[in-house]
Structure 1
């Protein structure tokens, strides 16, 4: 009889010589039975819980083709540790009149399949439970529960008894610099794709020595994957975010999130690379991007998932029909409704470079107007005073009550000095003194009310920042940040075709700034600019936090 041999070992931690050892003992059995040794089907470093193994699948295929009459293995668990798979293999080979014989159990029958299959399955479950228990113990001690993330290296040292220390790591200085660089670049507006491209262009090796990818940087915030979501960088070890289950159809592992109460969180301050302020800024930008990608009903909007390709992409609207102004050619903007739906008769187009130049020139010219700077300072003072009104009211109330309490204390002291002493006066006096101390502390906590002191060079700083706007947009290292600031000031750019070209209306926080000096009106203020005009629509009031240039 022609006997095939199947041999397998599970992990890279085991020696490849294990295959040779298994084949050797199987050949001895074959020789002892007087059979002829046939093909050998090895699987190296593959778990027996999956049936997707090259040697295993080839063995089944050859069995169907009748290339052997007996299958020999060291033990049944070498063939499989899954009850379903081992039972299926037995049924398949029995149908083909192929015997299964192992060195450990002998000829395999239904009893072996039932008992050994159950024992193998229980062994895997018990092993997994013990492994997780050990990992949790390490995590609670602030040590690595397995694997090494970018920015750290394994500490290799030995205990007093000579045994190796496991689970300890320390910061890798060169990689820590890259981690901080990634965070700072992301906070200033660069995308994870742009960051990865820059690192690859410089030849900076990524995790495991591979090239950088966008997903390596942005990862998945919910699962804690990716450079930007690794809380270890702020000195916080988080373990057990997710568990893995195998898809019975494919044998592949699927990750599932664990509930929040299953997490193990331990502080590890000596492993901190990123400061809290930088971490929070990155998280805030991630949240803003998620918000931008969400539709009102909470569904993801794929068209918002990409960064704007050009400076004003997505902001241009046709002032008449309300449709978007999009690129209808390689370099020209036009009405999307006219081009794609035919519901608009506006067929006029405008060069993208002309739109960007006119808007930027208009911003620089009008933001640098002396009257606007003066009005900005005055409006800042008015806003500051408004915010201080509540503090003033509280201070006035506390000072009034403090005066009343002080007068009562003086009256009791005067009465005692005149000989009108009563035991109850002591308690009343103590109560008033305590109240006086509380009121005085409250007034002190409000601090001294000081007049507004603005830097004498504020107007010059303002002019310099606005004048540098075009330069910042041209410089690669500041282009994205400058563009992000400009887009944050504008909520909409309305394109209105006329006889002599397009008029442009700017709508948003910037419009409020440009319209500060105007009387309250619902009509826009038009300013002539070159071949067309820029119309500024007044906003709903001035907010100092939106003035970001």
Structure 2
């Protein structure tokens, strides 16, 4: 019994329930359509990402604007810091700890608001959550990426990804905080980490986060036993030893010699400096510089030569037309053709004038000193806390393998054989190094890895 409808019977229940369900469904569709229209107009459909704030302004009719956002500069600076730190090799956990230590407040719409956590930064790349996955920071608004459905068993809402063709994407360049290059470097690092966690690329396979964990020490996972090829691991807090003899017995390997971790690292770094300072490598360095210079000049010289050849042909045609006119062979069509040739001549002349003359390569007298300086700064780059993470990652990427060969007459009972790409090692002394380089800046010209810097093995 209700005051409005009186007695309630089965018909009221059935019709009323049906009408209510239809009303809710239509309301959801209308709301969804309204939000879609707002996004297509370049406005936010709801929620405020970190780095932005809502803008409220009165319209001429007295109503208040909705969906407008603007950048909060101090939060945008934090966003840039997170992207730059992650691209440079810092983990989400390390970034969160640093932000918390400085008392920088996290987004207000996350759990434990006020403090940063790794998930706040890394989020979920498929769903576009987390600071590092928010396309708004590159001026792109993505809406309808996912929907929510109710689990019939628990009654709770669960997120489900929509197919990409249902996403609504709009450019909002005025909301850009991160440039495309920095965004791409972050995406490349995220992809590399996912590949390490699932190297086989098996779809829907469980990820193994421990595979992507950063090595604890500079040479971890690179050191191999020269007898059986197994990995040298820390058998205690300070010494490396063959893992095969410890785990599989002397039937597999008989190398029970151990070596201090600090001794290995010191010998590898000292050996790199010693071998890279060899006069032969200095000559190779200079020759590679010359080769890179010639390659860089080739395209410019080819374009200038082509323009000069075409200019000579155009001038020849103009001279021919002038000779024909002087001989009394004038025709009205010649005027139009002459005008076209003159325009082309001016264009080619300007192109030749703008193209510099082929420069003569003069080797700077301090080029050898530059090489020596880079090698001398190798250890310093790996010791400087400001660039230690980046330099260590670059160093590890340039070393293919370190073979530990037991030898009673060698220091620490081991002969060390190092295999690696010497080309990129030259750039490790640069404080700007953030990833394993295939090329390094020398003065104002490019030094490119080539024949003289192929992967090499030498003993330490």
The residue number in structure 2 matching 1:315 is: 222
Q: Is the 8 A contact 1:512 1:541 kept in 2?
A: no
- The answer to whether the aligner puts 1:483 opposite 2:392 as a matched pair is yes
Alignment-derived partner of residue 415 in structure 2: 503
Residue 255 of structure 1 pairs with residue 164 of structure 2:
no
Q: Which residue number corresponds to residue 89 of structure 1? A: none
Distance 1:410 1:201, change over 3 A: same
User: Match of 2:174?
Assistant: 270
* C-alpha displacement of 1:183: 1.5
Aligned partner of 2:135 in structure 1 is 231
Aligned counterpart, 2:29: 129
Tell me the distance in 1 between the aligned counterparts of 2:98 and 2:195. 27
Query: 2:231 corresponds to which residue?
Result: 324
Give the gaps of 5 or more residues in structure 1: 1-100, 515-538, 545-549
Q: Residues 223 and 541 from structure 1, CA distance in 2 versus in 1: closer, same or farther, beyond 3 angstroms?
A: farther
| Structure index of larger Rg | 1
Partner deviation per Cα, 1:60-91 (whole Å, 9 max, x = no partner): xxxxxxxxxxxxxxxxxxxxxxxxxxxxxxxx
Label 1:347 to 1:270 Cα distance change in 2 as closer, same or farther (>3 A).
same
Report the alpha carbon displacement of residue 252 of structure 1 after superposing the two structures with TM.
2.7
TM-aligned CA deviation for residue 490 of structure 1: 1.9
CA distance in 1, matches of 2:265, 2:377: 16
Is 1:357 aligned with 2:260?
A: no
2:39 to 100, 114, 139: 139
- Gap runs ≥5 in structure 2: 427-448, 455-460
Name the counterpart of 1:279: 183
Residues 1:541 and 2:456 aligned together = no
Q: Which residue of 2 aligns with 1:57?
A: none
Could you report, residue by residue, the CA deviation over 1:91-135 in whole angstroms, capped at 9, with x for unpaired residues? xxxxxxxxxx77766776654554333333323322221222222
Indicate whether 1:492 and 2:404 are aligned.
no
Cα shift at 1:472: 3.4
| Offset, 1:216 | 1.0
* Cα shift readout 1:220-254 (whole Å, capped 9, x = no counterpart): 23322111122222333222222222222222333
Matches within 5 A, 1:101-500: 110-159=10-59, 163-208=63-108, 209-297=113-201, 302=208, 303-342=210-249, 343-369=252-278, 372-386=281-295, 388-389=297-298, 392=301, 395-396=304-305, 399-400=308-309, 402-421=311-330, 447-452=356-361, 457-499=366-408, 500=410
1:512–1:542 Cα contact (<8 Å) kept: no
Describe the SS at the equivalent of 1:184.
helix
Q: What TM-score, normalized to structure 1?
A: 0.66
SS class of match (1:311): coil
CA drift at 1:435: 6.5
Aligned counterparts, 1:506-521, within 5 A = 506-510=418-422
3-state SS of the aligned residue for 1:254?
A: strand
Does structure 2 conserve the Cα–Cα contact (< 8 Å) formed by 1:513 and 1:542?
Answer: no
**Residues 356/166 of structure 1: CA separation in 2 closer, same or farther (3 Å cut):** same
> In 2, Cα distance between the equivalents of 1:243 and 1:204?
32
With normalisation by structure 2, the TM-score equals 0.77
Q: Contact 2:232–2:243 (CA<8 Å) still a contact in 1?
A: yes
Partners of 2:266 and 2:356 in 1: CA distance: 48
**Structure 1 residues 445 and 122: CA distance shift in structure 2, 3 A:** farther
Assess if the C-alpha contact under 8 Å between 2:195 and 2:201 holds in 1: no
Which of 1 and 2 has higher RCO (CA within 8 Å, sep 6+)? 2
Instruction: Measure, in 2, the Cα distance between the counterparts of 1:249 and 1:230.
Output: 32
